[in-house]
């Protein structure tokens, strides 16, 4: 509340800073937060978060009257004090949480110099907040992905290869939606040169024989990853349902997995391969990130096999 009543915010309101269509101001929110990280200034980061939150509230409630917005803030504070983790939220609360997650993604990409024009939040409809999300629909979920691919014309698409039941249900649904969107794309552009990079995260892992790209990770890279995660993912630092493997930030679990994968490969190749390698990057390696590069044919086959398996499981349960 202290920010909304400040002289700085009054001036920002007067210059139309919080207008949802003001893309330059969207980026200024992010730059303000990253400047706060650089300066080790909690107050600068708090102001940036307050700017983005006020922008979100103006967007959701279609309201820019300060007294009315303050009433809305009090209502939200009361709402969250009476909820429990895992309970399904009201639609506008889901939108609020989703837009905060979008803010976090804007921050992490800005670490690498990408502004909001390079980050596309598609808000696909199967993200419902239910325990089991809906199956992606063509017009609502697949078409927006297809249009984005057609606009960007990528040569590489990355996608989580987590089967359903191994982690968040949405990972499997996104895999199926991207599969159908890519099929539409290559049907229209049959000469497109496109490869798929499949990754797995804290919920599911590659066996070394499944991966074909092994990215060396140094302690320096791990430090950058943890710094970025803890600074950018405010909603994820203390997850309500952490992994059974580690009661802590997911960045720590990701590092643990990369270290284990490195030890596996070090056993296979011998410690001398890393310790005495002529390449400094490999001598600095203390973790490995596993990826699986696939041709379109391989990707479609993998996705369709997984889909057939999951549909068979559903029939058995019925």
Task: Give a yes or no: residue 1 inside a domain.
Answer: yes
> Would you say residue 213 has pLDDT above 60?
yes
State the pLDDT confidence band at 308, using cuts at 50, 70 and 90: confident
62: left (phi > 0), else alpha (psi -120 to 50), else beta?
A: left
User: CA angle 17-64-25, nearest 5°?
Assistant: 15
**Tens digits of per-residue pLDDT, 155-195?**
999 999 876 555 557 788 899 999 999 999 999 999 999 99
Across the chain, what does the average pLDDT equal? 90
Output the DSSP codes for 17-59. Answer: TT-TT-HHHHHHHHHHHHHHHHTT-HHHHHHHHHHHHHHHHHH
Task: Give a yes or no: residue 269 inside a domain.
Answer: no
Task: Give a yes or no: residue 116 inside a domain.
Answer: yes
Task: Give a yes or no: residue 169 inside a domain.
Answer: no
Which residue range is the domain that position 99 belongs to?
1-121
Total domain count, the chain:
1
Task: Give a yes or no: residue 106 inside a domain.
Answer: yes
State the pLDDT confidence band at 203, using cuts at 50, 70 and 90: confident
| 170/127 Cα distance (integer angstroms) | 7
Among residues 156, 205, 200, the alpha carbon closest in space to that of 178 is found at: 156
């Amino acid at each position: 509340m202290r920010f909304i009543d400040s002289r700085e915010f009054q001036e920002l309101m007067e210059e139309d800073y919080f207008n949802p269509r003001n893309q330059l101001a969207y980026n200024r929110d992010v730059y303000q937060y990253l400047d706060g990280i650089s300066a080790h200034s909690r107050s600068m980061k708090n102001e940036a978060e307050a700017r983005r939150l006020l922008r979100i509230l103006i967007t959701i409630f279609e309201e820019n009257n300060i007294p009315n917005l303050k009433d809305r803030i009090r209502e939200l504070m009361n709402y969250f004090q009476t909820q429990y983790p895992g309970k399904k939220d009201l639609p506008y609360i889901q939108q609020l949480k989703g837009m905060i997650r979008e803010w976090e993604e804007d921050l992490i990409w800005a670490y690498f110099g990408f502004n909001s024009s390079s980050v596309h939040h598609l808000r696909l409809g199967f993200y419902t907040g239910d325990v089991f999300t809906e199956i992606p629909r063509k017009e609502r979920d697949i078409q927006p992905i297809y249009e984005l691919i057609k606009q960007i014309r990528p040569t590489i698409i990355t996608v989580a290869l987590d089967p359903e039941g191994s982690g968040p249900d949405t990972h499997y649904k996104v895999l199926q939606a991207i599969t159908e969107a890519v099929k539409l794309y290559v049907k229209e552009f049959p000469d497109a040169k496109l490869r798929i990079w499949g990754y797995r995260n804290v919920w599911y892992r590659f066996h070394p024989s499944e991966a074909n790209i092994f990215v060396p990770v140094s302690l320096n890279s791990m430090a950058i990853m943890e710094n970025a995660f803890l600074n950018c993912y405010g909603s994820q630092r203390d997850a309500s349902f952490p992994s059974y493997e580690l009661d802590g930030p997911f960045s720590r679990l990701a590092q643990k997995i990369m270290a284990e994968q490195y030890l596996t490969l070090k056993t296979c190749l011998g410690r001398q391969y890393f310790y005495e390698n002529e390449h400094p990057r490999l001598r600095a390696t203390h973790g490995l990130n596993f990826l699986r590069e696939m041709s379109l044919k391989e990707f479609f086959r993998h996705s369709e096999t997984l889909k057939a398996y999951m549909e068979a499981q559903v029939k058995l349960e019925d």
